[in-house]
Structure 1
């Protein structure tokens, strides 16, 4: 963010410095007008880019109180809880844990994930927060297969070999077997792998 602000400040200073020379002829005025038209677009684009990056961070997702239990579930001591296993074994980047699993890896998946995120933000501020947040559509297998499809552990597991065609086509959901994404009962029981003071 500091880099963007600095770049805009330098650009504005250059335009201000050159404004006297640019206004002396018609081409200069057109260049100045074009620069003034482009500047808001550059600033807006940079702001959106920063917002997208920041909203992809795990800390952003945990900023809403209704998501607090889901954040705590990353630390539950349960080898069957998908979020906990992926987080604790560093199978995904900890700084973008939520986004890594909940983005759609298809074409325009990031944009779709951000639009769904805006729906969550809208409900958070202006709607009625449901007791249990739900996904807007069934969780697609390709979100899992994006990382696991060529992983040795996945390929060598007997059930995966037997069901490969069904898993690839989406006829059978990965969640039909791996059905515990977030262990909220473990959160309630305070069954954590690390005490809160020791968490990253």
Structure 2
């Protein structure tokens, strides 16, 4: 995916440059100002080209900022990236990553995006807040979520999954979990094992 977005980021300026060059040549020749078709082309260029370029730029930005590497580019996130490799069966991030329950290319985004109508938009706005704090604010010693972690981020994948349904406590408290009255983190309270990172307790394939 990163290759495609990088390619798109390269192609967009080239396409724009070609369109501008053709427009300048046509304008110099009088085509754009002396014919009805030229007026339509000029109107389309002024009205449609900015929209297309803006839309493509947003698409590239959204795709690129959803990648795991994008999150890991900030040094304060480095311990959280390393926690994906901790050898701890109770650490949610490590288990999901190592068992490939989530996409490795979008690991952070998969679990930290609210799966609701405006989930993506909300995640991007929160991401802008992260960027602002990274460059202009004071980074706290231990970053915290802006709000309690919502159950539906977990249930989005687990709600109808057999391993989830066959666990007795899940069946017993399913209604509470679905309504949010009981947090998944009540029992699964270790998301990132930062102590394991400090101890260099990493899983290695044999």
Q: What TM-score does the superposition give when structure 1 sets the normalisation length?
A: 0.91
1:63-116: per-residue Cα shift (whole Å, max 9, x none)? 111110000000000010000000000000001000000001011100000100
1:179 aligns with 2:189: yes
- Aligned 1:6-25 pairs, distance under 5 A: 6-16=14-24, 18-19=26-27, 20-25=30-35
Instruction: Indicate whether 1:44 and 2:49 are aligned.
Output: no
Q: Shift of residue 60 of structure 1? A: 0.6
Q: Distance in 2 between the 1:194 and 1:130 partners?
A: 31
User: How far apart, in 2, do the equivalents of 1:148 and 1:126 lie?
Assistant: 38
Matched, 1:100 2:110: yes
The 1-side partners of 2:167 and 2:21 are apart by: 62
Normalising to structure 2: TM-score of the pair?
A: 0.88
Task: Report the CA distance between 1:9 and its aligned residue.
Answer: 3.9
Could you tell me which residue of structure 2 aligns to residue 31 of structure 1? Answer: 41
SS of structure 2 residue aligned to 1:23: helix
Task: State which drifts further: 77-86 or 41-50.
Answer: 41-50
Which residue number corresponds to residue 2 of structure 1? 10
* 1:61 corresponding residue in structure 2: 71
CA distance in 2, matches of 1:11, 1:82: 50
How many residue pairs get aligned? The number is 195
Residue in 2 aligned with 1:75? Answer: 85
Once residues 132 and 22 of structure 2 are traced to their aligned partners in structure 1, the CA distance between those partners, rounded to angstroms, is: 40
1:198 aligned residue = none
Counterpart of 1:162?
Answer: 172
Structure 1 SS opposite 2:148: coil
Deviation at 1:45, TM superposition (A): 1.9
CA distance in 1, matches of 2:37, 2:10: 33
- CA shift, 1:125, in A, is 0.5
Structure 1 distance, partners of 2:156, 2:23, is 46
The CA distance in 2 between the partners of 1:194 and 1:68, in whole Å, is 19
